[in-house]
A and B are shown apart, each in its own frame.
Chain A
Amino acid sequence: MNDNIIEFHNISKSYGDNVIIPNLNLNIKRGDFLTVIGSSGCGKTTMLKMINRLITPDKGEILINGKNIKDIDVVKLRRQIGYSIQGNMLFPHLTIAENVYYVPDLIREDEKNNHKNKNIESDEAYNKNKKEKLSILMKHVGLDDSFLNRFPHELSGGQQQRVGIARAIAAEPKLLLMDEPFGAIDEITRSQLQKQLKDIYNQFHQTIIFVTHDIGEALFLGQHVLVINHGVIDQYGTPSDILNNPATDFVKKLCERTRVLIDKKNNKI
C-alpha cells in the first residue's frame, strides 16, 4: 500500500476572480504530524476543508489512501476523519459527554438503523464501554470526569477547547484535521494543550494535519511543516529545515522572530 495517506493532485480553487489556490500538489505521509502555516487568507483552511469535502476544489483530485475522495460516501469519509476547529464549536445544547461522544453515537445510531437483524452490541455493553472510553478521553485532554454531565457554557474557553480535542479523537480516527484549535486561548493553557496533543500523537500515531498561524506552534508540534503563501507551497520540510534553510524571503521573515528567541536563549546576543 501507498505510503501517502493524502495526495493532492493539481488542486485549484478560486472564488470569483479571487484565486485562493492556483495549483497545489502535495503528498502527506501516513503517521505524519504536519503543521500548515501561512498568513490569514493564504488558503490553508481551504486546503484542510477540501480533505473532508466541506469545500469542493474547482479542478484536480484528492486521494485518501490512494482512493479519490469523490468516490467515497461523504458521510463515511467524514466519520473516519477527526475534525477540530477554532473557537467554541461545541454543541451548546448537549452535555460534555454527548459532545465528546457525538461521532461514536452517530455511528452507533446508523448501525442500529441499518442492521436491524444483525447482531450488534447490546445497549448495555455499548453504554458501559462508552463510560469507560469517555473517562479515558477526558484523561487524555486533562479534564476530570465530573465535567461530563455539564454543559459547554459552564466551562472556560481552555476547557472547551480540550473537550473539542477529545471529541475529535473519540472515534479513534486514523486522520485528524485541526484548524487553529488553540487560536483563541491564553499562552499558558495553549502550551499545556500543545504538550497534551503531542502526548496523544506519540501514543496513537494517527496522521495529524494541523493548521496554525503561529510559527512557534508549527515548529514545536510538527514533524513536518508546510509553509503556504497565497495558495502556493513556499517550503515543505522538517522544523529544522525551515529554521536553518528558509527557502524564500517569506519563510525567512516568518522565522526571524523565532530565531532571535533561540539566539537569545543560547546567549548569542
Chain B
Amino acid sequence: MLNELLTMFATQSDFFLGLTIEHLEISIVSIIMAIIIGLGLGITVSEYPKNKWILTLVNIIYTIPSIALLGFLIPVAGVGDTNAIIALTVYGLLPMVRNTYTGIKTINPEIIEAARGMGSTDKQILFKIKLPLALPHIMSAIRNMTVMTIALAGIASFIGAGGLGVAIYRGITTNNITLVVAGSILISILAIGIDLILAGIERITAVGHSRKKIGNLFKNKKVIAIIIILIVGVGAYEVYDNLGHDTIHLASKSFTEQYIMGYMLQELIEHDTNYKVAYSSGVSGGSPTIQRGMEKGDFDVYSEYTGVGWMVILKNPGLYNESMFDTLKLQYKDRYNETWLNTYGFSNTYEIAVPNSVAKKYNLKTISDLVPVSNQLVFGAESDYFSRADGYDNLTKTYGLNFKDTMDLDVNLKYDAVKQGKIDVVEVYATDGRLYNSNLTILKDDKHFFPSYYCCPVISGKTLAKHPDLIPVISKLSGKISTKDMRYMNYQVDVEKKDPKQVAHNFLVSRKLV
C-alpha cells in the first residue's frame, strides 16, 4: 500500500499539486469569509439581544447535511467554486458566531462596567475591551473552523469545484483505494499543518503574553510590504494565467469512462487550439447538475448519453432509440440552446450476459434464446435495476422470461458472484471494464428492448457562437471510439489502476490524434 502510494505521488505529482492548491484556495477563501461574517454576526448577537435569532438560524443551517446544502445552492450559485465557497462559509459561521458570542458574554460584567463608568463609548468598549478579551474564544473557533473547513472542502468536488475531493471521489468511483487514501492523507496534512500555524498565532495572542509582538509585527513596514507583494503577486499570476487564453470549461460525471472522455477532450482541445481548458472532473449529481451548469454558463462542453438526455433531461416518455436522434438534437437546441455532435461511437447501454460455459451449455446467442431455459437460471443485477422502467419487470415481460430466482447485488460484487456460480444471468453495462477478458458472453438484444445510450459531446450554444472552431476539433473523435475500445480503456483504469489521463493520452496517440 505504502509503495503504491509513493509511486502514485511520484508519477502524478502535478495532478496532486494542482488539487492541493485548488483545495487551499477554496478553503482559505471560505475561512476568511467565515471569519469576517461570523465575527460580525457574533458581535451583532452579543451587542443586541434581540438579534439572538441569528444564533438559532446558524445553528439550524449547521444541521443541514452538507450534500443537501450543496444541492440547495445549485439553482442560486450554479456549480463549481462559488457554490462550494458559499456552502463552506455558511458551515464555518456557526463556530465563529457561537464562540464570538460566548467569548463576549463570559467577560466579567464588572470589567465592562468599569470601562463604561470611565467614559468609554460602546464602540470603544467593543474594540478595546470586549474583542481583545474574547480573543482566546475567537481564536479557538478559528482553529476548529479551519480544520473543519479543510476537511469539508473534500466534498466540494461533488458539485464540480476542484480540490482533493476530486482524487477521493475518483478513487471511490473507479474502485481505486490508493487514490482515496492519497487524497485523504493530503487533506489531513493540510488541516494539521494549518492548525499548527494557527496554534502558534494563538499562543502569541493569548491575553497578557507578549501581545505587543504581534502588533509590532504589523507595524513593521517590511512585513506589511511582504504581505502586500504576496497578495498582489498571487492575484497577478491568476490574472496572467487567464489572460490571452479563452478558457473552455469542461465537465464530466463521476464514473470511469467519463473521466477518460474528459481528459481526452481536454488534451485534444489544448493540442489543437490556443484555449485553456478548465476540467471539472467527476461532478456528482450527474446529468441534472451538469445540465444546470451548462445553462448557467459554468460549463461549455461535456459528454452525454442519448438515452439519458432523452429521459432524464428532456423527460420524454417512452424508451429512446437512435432513430430519434434528430428529434433529440432539435429539442436540446430549442430548449437549452445546446448542440449535440455525432457520437464518439460507443454505447453504454445495458446488456444481458451469461458465463461462456452457460452460453455453450444451452447454445445461447440472443436474449430470446433464454426463454426455454430461464426457469433453471438465476438472474442478478444491482437493486435499482429491479425498479427501473427499462429494468427487470419489463425485460422479463417483453421477452417472456421466468427466472428461477433473482439476486440484488452491488455493482462491484456482480462479477464475483458470476465467477462463483451464484448467478447465471447478469445485467451489465456495455462498456464496463470488467467485461474485458471476463468469461462472459453478451446476448444480443434481439427485440431492441434496451434504450440506446450512445455517448456524444454536448456543447452550449453560447460557447459555439464564440468558439465555432471547437466543432471540427471535437468532431475528430466522432466514430473513433468503439464500445470495445471504451471497455478496454475502462479496464485499464478500473482493473489495472492506470491514470485515466494517461489512458486517454495513450488512446489519442494510438489514433494519431495528437
Asked if A and B are interacting partners, one says yes
Residues of A near any B CB (own CB < 8 A)? 49, 52, 54, 75-79, 81, 83, 85, 87, 89, 91-93, 102-103, 106, 109, 151-154, 167, 177
B135 nearest CB neighbor, chain A only: A93
Which residue of the partner chain, among B111, B129, B208, contacts A151 with CB atoms under 8 Å?
B208
Contact flags B90-114 to A (C-beta < 8 A → 1, else 0)? 0000000000000000001011011
Stretch at the interface among B57-65, B116-124, B278-286, B398-406: B116-124
Assembly CA distance A81 to B120 (angstroms): 12
**Structural contact, A78 and B118, CB atoms closer than 8 A:** yes
Q: How far is the CB of A103 from chain B (nearest CB, A)?
A: 5
**A85 / chain B contacts, CB cutoff of 8 Å:** 110, 113-114, 117
B136 nearest CB neighbor, chain A only: A93
**Structural contact, A89 and B208, CB atoms closer than 8 A:** no
* Given A92-B208, A106-B124, A153-B208: A79 and B114 interface contact (C-beta under 8 Å): no
Assembly CA distance A81 to B121 (angstroms): 15
Across the A-B interface, give the 6 residue pairs with the lowest CB-CB distance, nearest first. A78-B119, A79-B119, A151-B208, A89-B114, A83-B117, A93-B132
**A167 / chain B contacts, CB cutoff of 8 Å:** 118
Interface size of B by Cβ–Cβ distance < 8 Å? 21
**A54 / chain B contacts, CB cutoff of 8 Å:** 113, 116-117
B277 at the interface (CB under 8 A from A): no
**Structural contact, B208 and A87, CB atoms closer than 8 A:** no
Among B108, B117, B120, residue most surrounded by chain A Cβ atoms (within 10 Å): B117
Contact flags B123-167 to A (C-beta < 8 A → 1, else 0)? 010001100110100000000000000000000000000000000
Q: How far is the CB of A242 from chain B (nearest CB, A)?
A: 28
* Given A106-B124, A151-B208: A89 and B111 interface contact (C-beta under 8 Å): yes
**Structural contact, A103 and B119, CB atoms closer than 8 A:** yes
Question: Can you add 13 more A-B contacts, CB < 8 Å, to A85-B117, A102-B118, A153-B208?
Answer: A54-B117, A79-B119, A83-B117, A83-B118, A85-B110, A85-B114, A87-B110, A89-B108, A89-B110, A91-B129, A106-B120, A154-B208, A177-B117
Assembly CA distance A72 to B233 (angstroms): 53
Q: How far is the CB of B115 from chain A (nearest CB, A)?
A: 7
A105 nearest CB neighbor, chain B only: B128
**B511 / chain A contacts, CB cutoff of 8 Å:** none
**A76 / chain B contacts, CB cutoff of 8 Å:** 119
* Given A83-B114, A85-B110, A85-B114: A93 and B119 interface contact (C-beta under 8 Å): no
B476 at the interface (CB under 8 A from A): no
Assembly CA distance A83 to B120 (angstroms): 12
**B117 / chain A contacts, CB cutoff of 8 Å:** 49, 52, 54, 78, 83, 85, 177
- What are 25 of the A-B contact pairs (CB < 8 Å)? A49-B117, A52-B117, A54-B117, A75-B120, A76-B119, A78-B116, A78-B117, A81-B119, A85-B110, A85-B114, A85-B117, A87-B110, A89-B108, A91-B111, A91-B115, A91-B129, A92-B133, A92-B208, A93-B208, A102-B118, A103-B118, A106-B118, A106-B124, A109-B124, A154-B208
Question: SS class of chain B's interface: helix, strand, loop or mixed?
Answer: helix
Assembly CA distance A92 to B116 (angstroms): 16
A152 nearest CB neighbor, chain B only: B208
Q: How far is the CB of A86 from chain B (nearest CB, A)?
A: 9
**B211 / chain A contacts, CB cutoff of 8 Å:** 93
Assembly CA distance A232 to B43 (angstroms): 41
Q: How far is the CB of B290 from chain A (nearest CB, A)?
A: 52
**Structural contact, B208 and A75, CB atoms closer than 8 A:** no
**B116 / chain A contacts, CB cutoff of 8 Å:** 54, 78
Assembly CA distance A81 to B116 (angstroms): 12
Assembly CA distance A49 to B118 (angstroms): 12
Q: How far is the CB of A159 from chain B (nearest CB, A)?
A: 15
A149 nearest CB neighbor, chain B only: B212
**Structural contact, A75 and B121, CB atoms closer than 8 A:** yes
Q: How far is the CB of B2 from chain A (nearest CB, A)?
A: 48
Assembly CA distance A20 to B115 (angstroms): 25
Among B110, B118, B132, residue most surrounded by chain A Cβ atoms (within 10 Å): B118
Q: How far is the CB of A18 from chain B (nearest CB, A)?
A: 20
Which residues of B196-225 have CB atoms within 8 Å of chain A's CB atoms? Answer: 207-208, 211
* Given A75-B121, A103-B118: A93 and B133 interface contact (C-beta under 8 Å): yes
Assembly CA distance A152 to B114 (angstroms): 15
Assembly CA distance A198 to B359 (angstroms): 112
Assembly CA distance A77 to B128 (angstroms): 20
**A93 / chain B contacts, CB cutoff of 8 Å:** 132-133, 135, 207-208, 211
Assembly CA distance A38 to B120 (angstroms): 30
B111 nearest CB neighbor, chain A only: A89
Assembly CA distance A117 to B139 (angstroms): 38
Assembly CA distance A183 to B128 (angstroms): 27
**B108 / chain A contacts, CB cutoff of 8 Å:** 89
Assembly CA distance A183 to B110 (angstroms): 15
Q: How far is the CB of A79 from chain B (nearest CB, A)?
A: 3
**Structural contact, A75 and B119, CB atoms closer than 8 A:** yes
Assembly CA distance A151 to B115 (angstroms): 17
B131 nearest CB neighbor, chain A only: A93
**B113 / chain A contacts, CB cutoff of 8 Å:** 54, 85
Assembly CA distance A132 to B211 (angstroms): 24
Assembly CA distance A93 to B133 (angstroms): 7
**A102 / chain B contacts, CB cutoff of 8 Å:** 115, 118
B212 nearest CB neighbor, chain A only: A95
Assembly CA distance A106 to B121 (angstroms): 9
Assembly CA distance A77 to B113 (angstroms): 15
